[in-house]
Chains A and B, each alone.
Chain A
Amino acid sequence: MTDVELSLDACIKCNICVSYCPPAKVTDLFPGPKYAGPQAQRFRSPRGPSPDASVDYCSGCRVCNLVCPAGVRIAELNAKARARMYRDRGGVPLRNRLLGRSELLGRLAHPVAPLANYLLHNPISRWLADAWLGIDRRAPLPRFSLHTFPGPVRSKWSPASNPRRRVVYFHGCATRYYEPWIGRAAVAVLERNGMEVVIPPQNCCSLPMLSNGEFDAARRYYDGNLRTLAPLAEAGCEIVGTSTSCTLTLKEEAPDLLEADSDAGRLVAASTSDICEYLVRLHEAGALDTAFRPLELSVLYHAPCQLNAHRVGHPAADLMRLIPGLTVIESEHPCCGIAGTYGLKKEKYAIGMAVGQPLFDRVQQSGARLSVCDSETCRWQIVHGTGLPSVHPIEILAWSYGLGEPLAIRKG
Chain B
Amino acid sequence: MICDILVIGAGPAGLTAALHAASAGAKTAILAKGIGTTHWAAGWVDILGYWPPGSPQPVRDPRAAVGALASALPGHPYARAGLRALDEALLAFQRAATAEGIPYAGSLDRNLLATTPSGSRRPTCLVPHAMLEGTRVAAGRTLIVGIGGLRDFYGAYIAANLRAQGCEADRAIVEVPAIRARNPQTTATLAAMLEDRPVRDELIRAVIPVARGFDRIGFPAVLGMNRHREVVDEVGKALGSAVFEIPTLPPSVPGIRLFEALRRRLAALGVRVIIGSEVVQRFAEGNRLLGIGSEAAARTQRQTAGAFILATGGILGGGIVAGADGAVREAALGLPVHAPVARGAWFSPQALAHQGHPIFQSGVLVNERMQPVGPRGDVAFRNVYAAGAVLAGADEWREKSHEGVALATGYRAAQAATERTRPAAQADAEASR
Given the contacts A14-B250, A16-B250, A330 and B186 also touching, CB distance less than 8 Å: no
User: Which of chain B's residues has its CB closest to A28's CB?
Assistant: B182
A68 within 8 A of B: yes
User: How distant is A194 from chain B, measured CB to nearest CB, in Å?
Assistant: 22
Pair A15/B186 contact, Cβ less than 8 Å: yes
User: How distant is A18 from chain B, measured CB to nearest CB, in Å?
Assistant: 5
* Cα–Cα, bound, A308→B277 (Å): 10
Pair B276/A67 contact, Cβ less than 8 Å: yes
Kindly list 13 other residue pairs between chains A and B, CB separation below 8 angstroms, not including A18-B185, A19-B256: A16-B35, A18-B189, A18-B251, A19-B186, A24-B189, A31-B185, A66-B34, A67-B34, A284-B2, A311-B297, A312-B297, A313-B272, A332-B264
B208 within 8 A of A: no
Given the contacts A19-B39, A66-B275, A252 and B317 also touching, CB distance less than 8 Å: no
A172 within 8 A of B: no
B298 within 8 A of A: yes
Give the residues in chain B near A270, CB-CB below 8 Å.
298-299
Pair B1/A313 contact, Cβ less than 8 Å: yes
Could you name 9 residue pairs across A and B whose Cβ atoms are closer than 8 Å?
A: A14-B40, A14-B251, A16-B35, A31-B185, A67-B35, A310-B296, A310-B297, A312-B296, A332-B267
User: Which of chain A's residues has its CB closest to B303's CB?
Assistant: A313
Pair B274/A313 contact, Cβ less than 8 Å: yes
Pair B274/A32 contact, Cβ less than 8 Å: no
Interface 1/0s, chain B 2-45, versus A by CB < 8 A?
Answer: 10000000000000000000000000010001111001100000
* Cα–Cα, bound, A318→B29 (Å): 12
Given the contacts A16-B250, A18-B185, A19-B186, A69 and B298 also touching, CB distance less than 8 Å: no
Number of interface residues of A (CB under 8 A): 39
User: Which of chain B's residues has its CB closest to A18's CB?
Assistant: B186
* Cα–Cα, bound, A317→B3 (Å): 14
Pair B251/A251 contact, Cβ less than 8 Å: no
* Cα–Cα, bound, A115→B134 (Å): 68
Give the residues in chain A near B189, CB-CB below 8 Å.
18-19, 24-25
A325 within 8 A of B: no
Chain A contacts with B in 238-281, Cβ cutoff 8 A: 248, 251-252, 269-270, 272, 280
User: Which of chain A's residues has its CB closest to B304's CB?
Assistant: A284
B175 within 8 A of A: no
Give the residues in chain A near B1, CB-CB below 8 Å.
280, 313-315, 318
Give the residues in chain A near B33, CB-CB below 8 Å.
69, 71
Q: Which A residues lie at the B interface, using CB under 8 A?
A: 14-16, 18-20, 24-25, 28, 31-32, 35, 65-71, 248, 251-252, 269-270, 272, 280, 284, 308-315, 317-318, 330, 332
* Cα–Cα, bound, A270→B299 (Å): 6
Give the residues in chain A near B267, CB-CB below 8 Å.
330, 332
B301 within 8 A of A: yes
Pair A248/B251 contact, Cβ less than 8 Å: no
Interface 1/0s, chain B 259-291, versus A by CB < 8 A?
Answer: 000011001000010111110000000000000
Give the residues in chain B near A314, CB-CB below 8 Å.
1, 272, 274
Pair B34/A70 contact, Cβ less than 8 Å: yes
User: Which of chain B's residues has its CB closest to A20's CB?
Assistant: B35
Give the residues in chain B near A317, CB-CB below 8 Å.
272
In the complex, which of the residues B40, B186, B263, B296 has the most CB atoms of chain A within 10 Å of its own CB atom? B186
B192 within 8 A of A: yes
In the complex, which of the residues B274, B278, B295, B304 has the most CB atoms of chain A within 10 Å of its own CB atom? B274
User: How distant is B29 from chain A, measured CB to nearest CB, in Å?
Assistant: 8
User: How distant is A38 from chain B, measured CB to nearest CB, in Å?
Assistant: 14
B318 within 8 A of A: yes
User: How distant is B292 from chain A, measured CB to nearest CB, in Å?
Assistant: 13
B370 within 8 A of A: no
B71 within 8 A of A: no
B183 partner, pick from A15, A28, A252, A318, beta carbons under 8 A:
A28
User: How distant is A192 from chain B, measured CB to nearest CB, in Å?
Assistant: 21
B188 within 8 A of A: yes
Pair B278/A309 contact, Cβ less than 8 Å: no
